[in-house]
Structure 1
Amino acid sequence: MVGNKQIVLKDYVKGFLKESDLILKTSDVELNIPGGCNGAVLVKNLYLSCDPYMRGRMVKMEGSYIDSFTPGEVIVGYGVAKIVDSSNPNFKKGDLIWGMTGWEEYSLIKSTEAIFKIPSLDVPLSFYTGILGMAGMTAYVGFYEICSPKKGEIVFVSAASGAVGQLVGQFAKLFGCYVVGSAGSQDKVDLLKNKFGFDDAFNYKEEPDIDAAIKRYFPDGIDIYFENVGGKMLEGVLPNMRSRGRIAGCGMISQYNLEKQDATRNLIYLILKQIRMQGFLVFDYFHLYPKYLEMVLPLIQEGKLAYVEDIVEGIEAAPAALVGLFSGKNVGKQVVAVAQD
């Protein structure tokens, strides 16, 4: 029996997420599989992924693609972990995995459908919270599967310095596209241009007129928009899309903390310009994960992809790290290091 630090949702959240909405508590856990839990694994969590979609699970919502968190219980998300006990023949003690786990030091995972075994590769384990995990798959699916890019097209990525956006921009450049990104600080703009190789980038917080800014950066229009923000950014993009442009609806972080979502203007351009806008959930595309690894691993090993992580130490730092996503405090993929392997 050992102590198990956990992050618990205090109650359903209204308005902007606060650190006080998440409670740190300690319970006891036995380091073996309880009787009757056939097919389960007990893991020691090493890294936890902070992702904007988690905010949507902190309200009581029916009809969503994923269940709401339950107040008083441990929240869950993607992470990297080491198996300490197993009653599943496909996993053994000592295996490293990534997938859905609890925001705690130790987790009992009863359903292993959403976890993947990590092979012995010369890459940091934390990469499996991002570039080699859900974020990487999201960028891959959104750009290649949803947007069907063509060489030479003009691509715009919002929230471009985040876990997904930084990869979308680089995939687009490698594919032969012209790429512009938006971010929330000059340091992030510099990162997009100097490290990730974007052709151009702008700080949306310094633009009093988003419509005018988009016209300035895209005088010939946009073929592909990778949507991470929503709200005013989407309104500004729509009139500036080219005929038969494509929009991948990945996320809308500007709306997640609002009790009443903003109405979106300019939707008429979906018709006038025959734009295809498609939302997607990466969970439906995990069957493509082997194909994604086949593409991305050589790019990492050959140094053709840059990847930036923002890692905080200790599960105690997890609430602040998650809250910080919504004000842009993170630079790159936000990760919580729970323990060392």
Structure 2
Amino acid sequence: MSDQQGAAGTGETEEFAHVSVMVPEVLEYLAPKSGGRYLDGTLGLGGHSSAIFEAAGGDISLLGIDRDSLALDTAQKRLAPWGGRASFFQGSYSRFEEFMDELGWDTLDGALLDLGVSSIQLDDADRGFSFLHDGPLDMRMGASEGDAPAHRLVNKLSHAELKAIIHRLGEEPMAGRIARAIIEARSKEPIENTARLADIVEQAYPAKWRATARRHPATRTFQALRMAVNRELEELAYFLEHITERLAPGGRVVVISFHSLEDRAVKHTFRDEAKGCNCPRNVPVCRCGRVPRLKVLTKKPLTPSEEEVARNSRARSAKLRAAERLVEAA
């Protein structure tokens, strides 16, 4: 993952040129300090991690996680100047506690997630993420993790299941029509490649909608299938549930999201952790015993500047939220 949805690093590597999203904002809110331990849960090509090292004068320890082996190989080359200060693990960022335990880390001084699909994945037709390039209908961020590829979902799920995925994860108003079109098309021949699925979705749209659409009609459907294949909301939910416990007092968590459902999950978790007590309003005295554990640093999500969007159009939907671990009362 990462160097996400339009994100990608601050410079060039041997293999790729890429531009990481909202680097100044990440550094401002993560506030890396000398001697700290930091998690980049969506390492990608290492753009954000490289900037974190530079901001701390190289004197930090980094845990970098990514599902994509190619991204990890590239990030390791990029971060080589910092030698053994960076440790790399292939897998989902929801496994961060497992990887911390392997390193003998109890707590973190900072954690970063840059959600979405990486530029190298979007631009590789063989990965099947984009309807702009014909290729096998795959969409797995990490094929070694056992996720079912997108073509399996498209060809096996019922109408109701397809409709639910496309409607919920893609927020697609034509979800029912699209699901019916997929069912009809696969009854004649399995849907195995991105170009055919994109055409099926496009033809499912009413002609008037196709004529006036600002983006390709398949955009939301492809997004929904990608999120379902990689269990992206489930991964985020687990991370948000467990990250606060692993932050040291004063430690910070920064999340960049590209989807309203992701942003909503981050917003609600930060708000609930900052509020503490979750007893019903009609209970006069707190019975749950929960205390605030986070201080929200961003009242509203930060978005990229106009200049950044002009340089990197894939950054336009990015939203950044940050919070800080409070010191627990004695």
TM range (shorter): 0.3 to 0.5
More helix by share: 2
Query: Normalized against structure 2, the TM-score is what?
Result: 0.37
Richer in strand (by share): 1
